[in-house]
Structure 1
Amino acid sequence: MSKEDSERDDGSDYFLSLNRQWIGYEKGFWATFRVARVEPSEERPHGFQYSLSLHDVNDDRVLGYNNAHAVDAATGPARRSKRPRVFDHINRRGRKPVPYEFTTPYKLLEDFFADVDRILKKEGVL
């Protein structure tokens, strides 16, 4: 790979290679990945449809990064009739989905695994 190629490498190939992969952790936690290239659109301008999730021993989702459906981008009392909607978002157990600003596949994976590490430390797995 040339220097030029590595500077342009946003992790797309690696991201796509994770499709249908899973990682097992101690205490029954596991992460799974669903990743596909799609035609860029208003909903998915980056050209990926994805679901990255962490589950507990009961198979309950603890954390999810995905773009399967739209969520409200605005928060607070000012959001009224024209709520911006975004597809990229984060689901955390017991909380409402929050928007996620997708920049590159590498950054998405970095953010996901940082959250996974935080949760697994809290659960005494790491």
Structure 2
Amino acid sequence: MSGDRDASLDMLLDLDGQLLVVDPEGGHWVKFVITRVPVSTEKPHGLDYSLTLHGPTGERLVGFDNAHPVGRGKRGEPMDHRHRLLTVKPYAYENAATLLADFWQAVDAVLKERGVL
């Protein structure tokens, strides 16, 4: 990450604590938890974040976060990753704007699969 300040970071941080209903009839909603943390090896962008889409019963359908290790046995350091239904894959964090765009793209894909969009 370069020394340039990520101008979209404030926009992302402003979403902290927001719950948004994206499908009032079907009960799908998104939740944002974003906290500034000290820059570290595990969180080089200085963020602890969780962006999630939930279904009508509260189950997580999509998630982008960096709060826990990824992989079998979940050993190792926390890293950026994405959840889609039951799959977890590493996520290459670039900046806050790209994170938000990627999250909404995944949300749209799942909602289309479920016939919501």
Q: Which runs of 4+ in 1 moved over 6 A?
A: none
1:21 matched to 2:12? The reply is no
Structure 2 stretches of 5 or more lacking a match? Answer: none
Which amino acid counterpart does residue 116 of structure 2 have in structure 1? V
The 5-angstrom pairing of residues 1-126 of structure 1 reads: 9-26=6-23, 27-72=26-71, 87-95=79-87, 97-126=88-117
C-alpha distance after superposition, 1:58-97 (max 9, x if no partner)? 100001100001224xxxxxxxxxx9866100112122x1
In 2: Cα distance, 1:67 partner to 1:108 partner: 12
Supply the RMSD in Å over aligned alpha carbons. Answer: 1.8
Aligned length: 109
SS in 2 for 1:34: strand
**TM-score, reference length from structure 2:** 0.85
SS in 1 for 2:67: coil
In 1: Cα distance, 2:8 partner to 2:110 partner: 24
Q: CA deviation at 1:104?
A: 0.1
Query: If you compute each CA radius of gyration, which structure gives the higher value, 1 or 2?
Result: 1
Contact kept in structure 2, 1:86 and 1:99, CA below 8 Å: no
